[in-house]
Structure 1
Amino acid sequence: MKKHRWSIAFLIAVGVIVNYFDRTNMSIAMPLLKKEFNLTAGQMGIFLSAFAWSYAFLQIPVGPLLDKIGVKWVTRTGTMIWTAACLLTAVANGWGLIILSRVLLGVGEAPFFPAAAKATSHWFPKNERGKAIASYDAQSKFSNAIGAPLIALIVTEWGWRGGFYATAVLSLIYAAVFWVWYREPHEDKRLTKEEYNYIREGGSQSAEAPTGTVMDNIRYLLTKRKVWAVFIGFAAYGYSWFLFLTWLPGYLATEMGMSILKSGWYSAIPWIVGTISEIVIGGWLVDRLVNKGYDSTRVRKTTLIISMLFGLSIIGAAFTHNPNIAVFWISLALGGLVVTSAVAYSIPTFIAPKGTVGTLTGILTFGNNSMAIVAPIVTGYIVQATGSFMYAFLVAAALLVLGIISYTFLLTDLEQIEPAAQKGSEYVSNELMVE
């Protein structure tokens, strides 16, 4: 049996790297933008969050759109839009146009992670989904590990516009590759019959469209306690994640007095730790324990809780002015937190009713990515008011505690949710908030 399915995972993984190059370039370029446009810390937070204004709010409609139209065409369109957005940023001649281009980037990249989760549910049996999702989600950390110093070098040599020109070219190449390579399993002629049967018999979801209206399906999913458990936990993780993603280079440059190039190299360390921990723990170890017969819910729930507890190491960074110690605590926190990302992204592929993986993933990624709006702005104004990142890190820690409580007490099981019983045009839930 050939393993063509892993070429799909690799294709998605490369897309994640390109995605995060497009996002990281703003945080690396921010010191130069601050100087050119005379920005305050609060205004810098607005610049850093602009991408998420569209990205977060489009997660809700993107999920049902994927369920109706499919991964292939939605992602093809998205890649072309985000390529145009990178180019527009590079040629922008004012801060208003830069913000507009970042909003457009959010429009283009919004479908990618819900599409990746839906593609995984089609292309992989249940016993391989942990490794598959970790293999591409870990690249969101790896891309920062290689992207931060690489883009810092480009920005140092050719200015902040050079960074956006570089990512625009990279995005265009990826758009062409995705257009040529990605197909659904039932239409991919490179997939052997043996591998197709292996995928189907292993519990992959079909590419069929869901029954019922979009709002019916969303309302029904929101009656499920385990949906809220993951929504709250994923949002709590998202706050710390987006704080690091948008402010880590700026934190090292301003509070630790580093140059742009040096802050890029130091920023790479936590992302390398995160990449390794997500692949080894969130992917390989979780799947191995489940395949050895341990209870799936217990393994994934325990992993979520322990990893979030490691995330509280961010408190250590709040009370030091030594860059080496700060990077140590941030690496420990990020190394734990990213494991929860792989597990959380896999949950919709297990619990979503047939045909609604995209819808449920969209709901969860909305909660997660709404923090991309909140975290940069809140952090910016905290730093502007106090002159320090200490309270910004403590706010992140408090939200992680909320996430730990949610996973501990609300996540009941990971069994597939039964489709709602249809009654006329309405959908009736047999299990309401208390399952």
Structure 2
Amino acid sequence: MIGLVTLGTILNYLARSTLSVAAPTVKAEFGMTTEQYSWIVMGFQAAYTVMQTVAGAVLDALGTRLGFFLFALAWALSNMAHGLATGWQSLAIFRGFLGASEAAAIPAGTKTVSEWFPDRERPLATSAFQMGTSVGNMIAPPLVVFCILSWGWRSAFMVTGVLSLLWAGLWWFAYRAPEQHPCLGGGEKRLITDGQIGGRQAGDRPVGRPANRREVLRSREFWSIALPRFLAEPAWQTFNFFIPIYLVATWQLDLKSIALWAWLPFLAADFGSLAAGLLPPLLMRLGAGMVPSRKITMTLGALLMAGPACIGLATTPTAAIALFCIGGFAHQMLNGALITLCSDLFDKRTVATASGMAGSIAWIGGLLFTFAIGQSADIFGYSPLFVALALLDFLGAGLLWMLLRPRLAVHKSPGEYHD
């Protein structure tokens, strides 16, 4: 099941990364400025931001199987529509449709993990599907460049869209919840159920009531996840949407060079996702609690963001790519810890709603930072922006430790973390 979710996440991020790789070609054909390109990116971000909350609620209402299928079908068709664009305005509209439909990926992955995995296996399961985000980005440069050189830039959107269509069909026929899966034995069902109840400290228990947005929003635990994600998301979106443009603007690399180098930060991000899955269980074996193990992992990732902050000091494109690699590793390490916390602190009937709302807040951060890039990159360059990304993650780590503290008294709010 987690392999199926991971494949869907790969294709989700492959679809959204198609434009960033094709951007230098599309910008040249349509005569776009960096500011106009930033408006296209913000069209995606704005729709994604609004729809993450809606997508989470839809997944909790319709169930993971039907809900994710409908969203996957929509993002495949929206991505293919990019090939019909006639200018940056129509491209922004299609980008908005893509953002609205792709918003379900992370809430669906989080909900699947909460349904299928006992507590002790959730960090590794989350890191598995989160690796799909960087694998999709890693595949995009060579595949999209191949399509552009062979058949033109419009073909790249058709190819990546068809791949998502095929996956949507696979998901519909293959996915079932554990209690409905015909191949799952009673022993494994008990292992999943018992592992979601046992193995927790009293303070780690999630809410057990149906999804209620107001209750989730009132919980301190929600904001301890949402605010660090708000501060961390700008880094990942900058890596996703602006690495190829940065390489062209700063180092004058051609399309083939982008295909050769631009995937490396996302390979490093895979290892960051893996670290987010392996480090918390190790810390727990050394005596850390479930929640503290996630907090330590997030903090280590935030500290490593000092790497991309130094990109302005790079003297070669190779050095810049190496620092991007540190950034990719760092972000996926800290983000994996934050996403896992959502499945730790909220019940499986509320987790997609909580994850979706946290994702909306995170994407507001990404949207605002993209606006800053569009207004300042052509004037001041990218170096100050990369320093700002590191500072935001340092602040996010501080907020996580400040907000997610053990409480001595027992309260009734959803997802509250007690000790």
Task: State if a TM-score over 0.5 links the two structures.
Answer: yes
Q: Superposition RMSD on alpha carbons, in Å? A: 2.5
Would the alpha carbon gap of residues 233 and 150 (structure 1) be closer, same or farther in structure 2, given more than 3 Å must change? same
Counterpart of 1:250 (choices 211, 227, 245) is 245
Match of 2:217 among 192, 212, 222: 222
Stretches of structure 2 that go unaligned for 5 or more consecutive residues are 199-206
2:251 alignment partner, SS class: coil
Conservation of the 8 A alpha-carbon contact between 2:127 and 2:336:
yes
**How far, CA to CA, are the matches of 1:257 and 1:414 in structure 2?**
54
Which AA in structure 1 matches 2:302?
A: M
In structure 1, runs of 5+ residues without a counterpart are 1-7, 421-428
Q: For residues 418 and 342 of structure 1, do their structure 2 counterparts lie closer, same or farther at Cα, with a shift above 3 Å needed? A: farther
Change (3 A) 1:24 1:414: farther
Aligned residues: 410
The corresponding residue for 2:16 is: 23
Kindly provide the amino acid, as one letter, of the partner of residue 325 in structure 2.
Answer: S
In the superposition, the TM-score normalised over structure 2's length comes to 0.91
User: Equivalents in 2 of 1:91, 1:414: separation in Å?
Assistant: 55
Work out whether residues 312 and 400 of structure 1, in 8 Å CA contact, stay in contact via their aligned partners in 2: no
Structure 1 stretch 125-134 or stretch 308-317: which is displaced more?
308-317
Secondary structure at the aligned position of 2:152 is classed as: helix
Name the residue aligned to 2:204.
none
- TM-score where L is the length of structure 1: 0.88
Of all paired residues, the percent bearing the same amino acid is 24
Shift of 1:293: 4.3
State the partner residue of 1:5: none
Q: Given residue 172 of structure 2, which amino acid in structure 1 is its aligned partner?
A: W
The DSSP-based 3-state class of the residue aligned with 1:58 is helix
| CA pair 164-430 structure 1, distance change in 2 beyond 3 A | closer
Matches within 5 A, 1:253-268: 253-268=248-263
Q: Specify the code of the residue in structure 2 equivalent to 1:375.
A: F
Structure 2 vs 1, CA of residues 366 and 327 (structure 1 numbering), >3 Å: closer, same or farther? same
Cα pair distance change 1:319/1:113, threshold 3 Å? same
C-alpha contact (below 8 Å) 1:67/1:210 kept by paired residues: no
Counterpart amino acid of 2:230? A
Aligned twin of 2:229: 234
Residues 374-433 of structure 1: per-residue CA shift (max 9 Å, x gap): 2333212211222x2112212222322321221232222599x9654xxxxxxxx8989x
Q: Which one is further off, 185-194 or 10-19?
A: 185-194
Q: Please state if 1:355 is matched with 2:349.
A: yes
Tell me which residue corresponds to 1:301: 295
* 1:7-86 matched pairs, under 5 angstroms: 8-86=1-79
CA contact (8 A) 1:236 1:403 kept: yes
Aligned residue number for residue 203 of structure 2 = none
Name the CA shift for 1:204/1:341 in 2 (closer, same or farther; >3 Å): farther
Shifted more, 292-301 versus 259-268: the winner is 292-301
Alignment of 1:322 with 2:316, yes or no, is yes
- Residue 313 of structure 1 contacts residue 332 of structure 1 at CA under 8 Å; is this kept in 2? yes
1:373 aligned to 2:367?
yes
Distance in 1 separating the partners of 2:320 and 2:144? 22
2:388 corresponds, among 367, 389, 395, to: 395
| Aligned residue in 2 for 1:310 | 304
CA distance in 2, matches of 1:292, 1:181: 38
What amino acid sits opposite 1:227 in the alignment?
Answer: F
Contact 1:297 1:413 in 2 (8 A): no
Matching of residues 74-153 of structure 1 within 5 Å: 74-153=67-146
> Larger deviation: 118-127 or 33-42?
33-42
The Cα of 1:169 is off from its aligned counterpart by 1.2
C-alpha contact 1:151 1:163 (8 A) present in aligned 2: yes
- Between the aligned partners of 1:96 and 1:430, the Cα distance in structure 2 is 42
Distance change >3 Å, CA 431–CA 369, structure 1 → 2: closer
Name the counterpart of 1:424.
none
351-360 vs 10-19, greater mean Cα deviation: 351-360
Instruction: Flag the 1:104–1:189 CA change in 2: closer, same or farther, 3 A.
Output: same
